[in-house]
Amino acid sequence: MVKGEKSKMVDERLNVLLVEDTASLAALYQAYLQDEPLSLTVVSNGQQALEHIRRQPPDILLLDLILPDMPGMEILQWLHREQPNVTTIVMTAHGSVDVAVDAMRLGAHDFINKPVEAERLKVTLHNTMKFRHLNQLVDRYRHEIEREPFQGFIGASLPMQKVYRLIENASPSTATVFITGESGTGKEVCAEALHQLSGRSEGPFIALNCAAIPKDLMESELFGHIKGAFTGALQDRDGAVIRADGGTLFMDEICEMDMELQSKLLRFLQTGQIQPVGSSQQIKVDVRIVCATNRDPLVEVEQGRFREDLYYRLHVIPIHLPPLRERGGDVISIANALVRQASREEGKSFVGLSEATKDRLRGYHWPGNVRQLQNVIRNAVVLHQGEWIEQDMLPAPLDNPLAHSTPSQPVADALPAPIVPLSVIERQAIERAISHCQGNVSRAAALLEVSPSTIYRKLQSWDSN
Amino acid sequence: MADWQRLQARLPLLDRHQLQRMELELGAEVLSRLLRLFVEDGRQQGEALQGAFAERDYVLMARCCHSLKSACGSYGALRCQYLSEKLEQSCHEQDEEQVESRMRAWLPALEDTLQQLETRLNAE
């Protein structure tokens, strides 16, 4: 044994139970182990062993396979079932490989042939102690690392473990966090996690989607306005920054922000003060900024659509959320959680996914990421009955066996399609859904999340045209 | 003479090297205490084995031999260890003739071994 290992184990003082019916052998093993860092108890038959284990499960069991009252294998079976944390070393004079294999199959950790020499017994025990110690370490690290669910996230994949660690490390700080990732990867969930784990969690969390607010209203939405600042400003109104005072302001789709407003945002970030629209007063605020985009912010800077100085002001702690297709088994964990949730909410009895469905979900590229998965599962749960979500319950494009092997381009990277009138897109979508459902308008309506009467009305209007 | 008989006759009753090694590992005092316990165990197991032999209870005999085999091996009682193993095998095979002939060899081997140990212990 390497010097130092023994002293490390001294502190642990493991409980070892020896089951040996021959008194001179039990005494010999006790003598061999007298200087070892363990507390040894000896019993002489199987019944005593079971009683002792039930009362006080040992860390390690030294078990003779031939006992006066029962076969040691029975004890092994019982342990395997009832006390899997007890690490067993089998001692026997049988010496056959078959017996060793059987014992290992029943959960024995190691095997010693009798007669047992002192050194062999000690080395085996040391190895077992190390094995237990390493197992405990692995369990501890797994507990620390594999945080699932984590603040609204589901998934224990390695890329997500990195994200969780980043969130945990970044949350106590007031530094600005820049979240990137494709649509549907959970950027707002990430922002909320940062807020919840920060010292500001008692304060407000305000989310603002920069792409959803008209350009002209954005400044007012962000910084507020005073009465009469512009037509329709009938009274003073606090902006998102003021409302987030003492908390966190999450600005989604930050790259969609108008250049002029970007410079005002930069000024606020530099001074910590805002000036509501129409006001000459500067108001000091204490806000932690988290922003997000599904674009590549550096490309936006290079293309001149995003201010470089603002980029560097915001891009203090970057967090990139991986797309679902890069998260390995997370897709199944998330899908299972979604099935349970949707089933509960919709009053259905689904309990999970069939193996074939899992295969298809795993093989698909998920251009819409978790949001798309949510829709797929909700659709299947709403439109079907049963306990397991089967492949044929999946909506398009997952219902097509070929769909899963066709790599799709991520939404954020997709080339912009030619602009066509909305009415044309609407008609194409409805016709595609009806065709997909083999003319079943009700099913097509469910897939499109509209009522069948809406589709009939549309069909009539196209006919009359 | 069968192979096992020739081999057992060549085996020493006690492995002196093993006893020396045990003395180094455990100390003379502890070893003496353990050897006394082994002698006691050996006598008890020997009586149990003879009782089972009188009853022709081969299952119990095999169990006794199994225990003796381990104990003898652990204390360096080589000839007894070997004969216990052979006797256990015959009991499992329910070979009456072999059981009887091996029992005849085993009894004096055990007695001589325990005698030799007692002599050693008394000399201390």
Chain A residue with Cα closest to B85 = A93
Q: What is the pLDDT of residue A450?
A: 79
CA closest to A68 among chain B residues: B63
Q: How many CB pairs under 8 A join A and B?
A: 53
Whole-number pLDDT of residue A84: 85
Reported ipTM: 0.94
Rg of chain A taking only CA atoms, in angstroms: 32
Percent of chain A with pLDDT over 70: 90
Q: Which pLDDT does position A5 carry in this prediction? A: 41
Which pLDDT belongs to residue B115?
96
CA separation (Å) from A455 to A185, A375, A379, B13? 32, 20, 18, 100
- pLDDT band for position A459 (cuts 50, 70, 90): confident
Question: Which are the contacts of A32, defined by CB distance < 8 A and separation ≥ 6?
Answer: A116, A118, A121, A122, B25, B26
Whether A392 has a pLDDT exceeding 50, the answer reads yes
Q: Do A66 and B30 touch (CB under 8 A)?
A: no
* Phi, psi (degrees; rounded to nearest 5) at A291: -130, 165
Name every chain B residue with its beta carbon within 8 A of the beta carbon of A114.
69-70, 73-74
Distance from CA of B10 to the nearest CA of A (A): 21
- Model confidence pLDDT, tens digit, residues B55-80: 999 999 999 999 999 999 999 999 99
Q: Which chain B residues touch A22 with a CB distance below 8 Å? A: 41, 45, 67, 70-71
**Interface touch B25/A118, C-beta < 8 Å:** yes
For A334-389, the pLDDT digits (tens) are 999 999 999 999 999 999 999 889 989 988 899 999 999 999 999 999 999 999 99
What pLDDT digit, counting tens, does each position of A6-45 carry?
A: 444 445 578 999 999 999 999 999 999 999 989 999 999 9
Residues of A in contact with B33 (CB under 8 A): 27
What whole-number distance in Å separates Cα of residue A128 and Cα of residue A12?
13
A131-140, A257-266, B17-26, B106-115: least confident range: A131-140
Cβ-defined contact of A24 to B38 (cutoff 8 Å): yes
